[in-house]
């Protein structure tokens, strides 16, 4: 069953039950109010009449005075009044009922001649009308001499109560109708958003990540739509990156391979005696093979890091020694490019626990970037200093800098600021992962055209 049906269904059941319970309570209250009112009025009148009799007629004969009494009692009431003697025989009736009627069949009369007030509800023997009767004992000198009976028709009251009931049922039906409509509307707004989401998700399953969900409301479903859209755009982006990467890796692999193959052909065709040419060619083949090996290593490394399959082996590392060694190693390349490479290290750097080869790899990645993106007569500074709890190492250059739009993406795998530039876009991503494995942090700040600073910390303990 669909969400809409379930929602509206439960809504409907709840509201019907509520309305039903309310209607029953209201109906019972209305009935009680009307009938109780009548009973009370009649009882009051009867009681009043009885006390009036006791006070003024107590020492006279009931049967003789019944005519006068009736007139007195009836003049204060709209109800039908009857006077009954102690045997239950009807003496007087304000409606003119005649004949020696014995009234003991009515329980209210039975009660009255025994000395208790009583009431009775039933059908009038002549008119079949619903009536209500109240009897009250008449006392004289402590003896019961008869009773007074007040009778009223219930027809009008029953009619009124019926009308109120019909009105209540009408209102109830209208309420149920309105609430059901509202429920339908509400569930429609929910299911509409869900349907949108489902449709978009289906299309994404088919591989179409260009689809975006229309966000209808600022609610949980709206934020789910945002999440889905974000997910789709991330997936598209990483698809794009993957394609760019494959293109750039193929390109990167092709260049050294072309050169190796070219030299192999040249050497094959050349005279064996041409020694200098041979050495040049073999040199190039060697360096190009190194480049290939390096690239393949980087890729393997990356996939291992990405899967979390790489482990770091901590040993005591003398950072001063390490950084100076790297500086010496890369100075020839910097000099070739006309770039100055300065290593400025604070004295007495502590010995830290780290994976030496991995830290070296990070440094080489960072310096390689600086060398790649800095023109001749540029400068590169490698610095290291301690702050409480950690060593901060930074590589700063006066190169091209990184555009602000690229800055947040450069750590992503395969991301290159310039697709034409050499490299696979993995250097920073790998470096960041390695630093994370050392519980440190890698930060990049850069100004386009001015230069770049890449900084990372390594905890001292």
Contacts to Mg ion by CB under 5 A = 369, 427
Q: Which residue, 8 or 410, has its beta carbon nearer to ligand ATP?
A: 410
| Both structure tokens of 202 | 């289906």
Q: Which residue, 92 or 452, has its beta carbon nearer to ligand ATP?
A: 452
Distance CA 374, CA 334 (A): 10
Of all residues in the shown chain, the one whose CB is closest to Mg ion is 427
Q: Which does 263 bind (CB under 5 to 8 A by kind): ligand ATP, Mg ion, none?
A: none
Q: Which residue, 317 or 362, has its beta carbon nearer to Mg ion?
A: 362
Q: Which residue, 118 or 427, has its beta carbon nearer to ligand ATP?
A: 427
CB of 350 to ligand ATP, least distance (A): 27
Residue 138 and residue 146 in contact, taking contact as beta carbons nearer than 8 Å:
yes
CA 137 → CA 47, 72, 97, 180, 276, distances in Å? 9, 17, 20, 57, 147
- Look at phi and psi of residue 329 and say left if phi exceeds 0, alpha if psi is from -120 to 50, else beta: alpha
Residue 283 and residue 267 in contact, taking contact as beta carbons nearer than 8 Å:
no
Contacts with 203 (C-beta within 8 Å, 6 or more apart), sequence order: 211
Q: Which residue, 67 or 297, has its beta carbon nearer to ligand ATP?
A: 297
Q: Which does 417 bind (CB under 5 to 8 A by kind): Mg ion, ligand ATP, none?
A: ligand ATP
CB of 428 to Mg ion, least distance (A): 6
Q: Which does 425 bind (CB under 5 to 8 A by kind): Mg ion, ligand ATP, none?
A: ligand ATP
Q: Which does 402 bind (CB under 5 to 8 A by kind): ligand ATP, Mg ion, none?
A: ligand ATP
Q: What is the distance, to the nearest Å, from the Cα of residue 11 to the centroid of all Cα atoms in its chain?
A: 20
CB of 361 to Mg ion, least distance (A): 11
What angle separates helix 275-306 from helix 427-437, to the nearest 10 degrees?
50
User: Collapsing DSSP states into helix, strand and coil, what is residue 289?
Assistant: helix
CB of 344 to ligand ATP, least distance (A): 18
CB of 326 to ligand ATP, least distance (A): 16
Q: Which does 410 bind (CB under 5 to 8 A by kind): ligand ATP, Mg ion, none?
A: ligand ATP
**Which residues lie near ligand ATP (CB under 6 A)?**
298, 365, 369-370, 373, 397, 399-402, 410, 415-418, 421, 423-429, 452
Q: Which does 452 bind (CB under 5 to 8 A by kind): ligand ATP, Mg ion, none?
A: ligand ATP
Q: Which residue, 94 or 369, has its beta carbon nearer to Mg ion?
A: 369
- Look at phi and psi of residue 439 and say left if phi exceeds 0, alpha if psi is from -120 to 50, else beta: left
Residue 397 and residue 451 in contact, taking contact as beta carbons nearer than 8 Å:
yes
Q: How many CB atoms lie within 10 A of CB 367?
A: 22
Q: Which does 397 bind (CB under 5 to 8 A by kind): Mg ion, ligand ATP, none?
A: ligand ATP
Q: Buried b / exposed e across 392-406, counting CB within 10 Å, b at 16+?
A: bbbbbbbbbbbeeee
Contacts with 30 (C-beta within 8 Å, 6 or more apart), sequence order: 161, 164, 165
CB of 320 to ligand ATP, least distance (A): 23
Q: Which residue, 80 or 369, has its beta carbon nearer to Mg ion?
A: 369
CB of 370 to Mg ion, least distance (A): 9
């Amino acid at each position: 069953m669909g969400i809409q049906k379930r929602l509206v269904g439960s809504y409907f059941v709840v509201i019907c039950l509520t309305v039903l319970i309310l209607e029953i309570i209201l109906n019972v209250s209305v009935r009680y109010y009307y009938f109780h009112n009548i009973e009370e009025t009649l009882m009051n009148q009867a009681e009043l009449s009885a006390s009036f009799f006791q006070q003024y007629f107590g020492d006279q004969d009931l049967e003789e005075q019944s005519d006068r009494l009736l007139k007195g009692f009836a003049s204060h009431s709209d109800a039908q009044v009857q006077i009954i003697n102690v045997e239950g025989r009807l003496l007087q009736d304000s409606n003119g009922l005649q004949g020696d009627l014995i009234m003991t069949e009515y329980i209210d009369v039975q009660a009255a001649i025994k000395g208790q007030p009583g009431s009775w509800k039933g059908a009038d023997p002549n008119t079949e009308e619903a009536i209500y009767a109240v009897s009250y004992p008449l006392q004289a000198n402590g003896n019961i001499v008869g009773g007074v009976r007040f009778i009223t028709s219930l027809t009008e009251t029953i009619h009124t109560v019926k009308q109120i009931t019909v009105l209540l049922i009408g209102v109830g039906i209208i309420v149920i109708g309105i609430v059901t409509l509202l429920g339908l509307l509400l569930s429609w707004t929910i299911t509409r958003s869900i349907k949108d989401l489902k449709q978009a998700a289906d299309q994404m399953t088919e591989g179409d990540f260009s689809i975006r969900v229309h966000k209808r409301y600022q609610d949980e479903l709206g934020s789910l739509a945002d999440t889905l859209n974000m997910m789709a755009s991330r997936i598209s982006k990483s698809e794009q990156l993957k394609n760019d990467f494959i293109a750039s890796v193929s390109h990167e692999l092709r260049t050294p391979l072309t050169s190796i193959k070219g030299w192999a052909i040249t050497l094959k065709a050349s005279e064996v005696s041409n020694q200098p040419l041979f050495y040049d060619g073999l040199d190039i083949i060697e360096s190009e093979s190194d480049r290939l090996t390096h690239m393949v290593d980087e890729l393997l490394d990356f996939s291992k890091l990405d899967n979390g399959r790489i482990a770091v082996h901590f040993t005591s590392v003398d950072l001063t020694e390490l950084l100076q060694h790297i500086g010496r190693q890369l100075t020839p390349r910097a000099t070739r490019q006309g770039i100055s490479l300065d290593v400025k290290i604070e004295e007495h750097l502590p010995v830290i626990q780290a994976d030496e080869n991995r830290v070296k790899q990070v440094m080489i990645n960072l310096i390689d970037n600086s060398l790649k993106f800095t023109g001749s007569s540029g400068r590169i500074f490698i610095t290291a200093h301690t702050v409480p709890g950690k060593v901060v190492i930074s590589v700063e250059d006066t190169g091209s800098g990184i555009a602000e739009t690229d800055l947040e993406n450069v750590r992503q795998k395969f991301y290159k600021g310039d697709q034409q530039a050499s490299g696979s876009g993995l250097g920073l991503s790998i470096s960041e992962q390695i630093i994370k494995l050392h519980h440190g942090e890698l930060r990049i700040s850069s100004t386009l055209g001015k230069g770049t600073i890449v900084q990372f910390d390594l905890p001292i303990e």
